[in-house]
Amino acid sequence: MVQLDCRNRIVPPRSRAVIQHCDLLESAYQLSEPTELDSALPGHPQRRDLLGQFCFYLHFAVMIYIVAGWLIPWRAMLAFYMLFIPAIYLQWQFNQDSCVLNNLESWLRTGKWRNREANPEEGAWLLTLVTDVTGLRFTASQINILTNCALILLWVLALAHFSRHP
């Protein structure tokens, strides 16, 4: 099993002192008095290294584009958006419920296209985000149904917007 340090980096088997140091830091944090901000945050916020941060924010930017792209006022951009939405759906289906962005992160980290042990968000980025933000536990199939319904709705909204622009 791959072990990660407190910054979510892979730790070689002989470097257990790094993990013990992280455990010490986490226990020190847990011993501190909770604040109002602590109660507003999810129970276990994820720590990410630079690559993890980049991939997270790239995913977030793509998600914002998916959610708000149908509002774009330019016909050519709406046409691109209407091709982009089915492309997202198809890549998810062909890639066995995993996003290419997560696969690229796994490949950059480990040299393997798929490595869910080293990258727990692989195939579960939205599930992880929703769980961390809301604290609610959804299954992967529930998130897939929600995502697919949202993609259909957003595509139909884009089509309606597209048909109104000359």
Q: The tokens of 42 are what? A: 């999810």
pLDDT digits (tens, 9 = 90+) for 75-124: 999 999 999 999 999 998 898 878 888 888 888 888 888 777 766 666 67
| pLDDT per position as a tens digit, 10-52 | 665 555 544 454 554 444 344 444 444 344 344 444 567 788 8
Q: Estimate to the nearest angstrom the gap between the alpha carbon of 118 and the chain centroid.
A: 14
Place 6 in a pLDDT band, splitting at 50, 70 and 90.
low
pLDDT of residue 139: 82
| More confident of the two residues 125 and 103 | 103
Q: What is the model's pLDDT at position 66?
A: 94
CA angle 146, 151, 129 (to 5 degrees): 50
pLDDT at 153 over 80: yes
Q: Which H or E element spans position 147?
A: helix 140-164
Q: Which of 6, 1, 8 is nearest to 109 (CA)?
A: 8
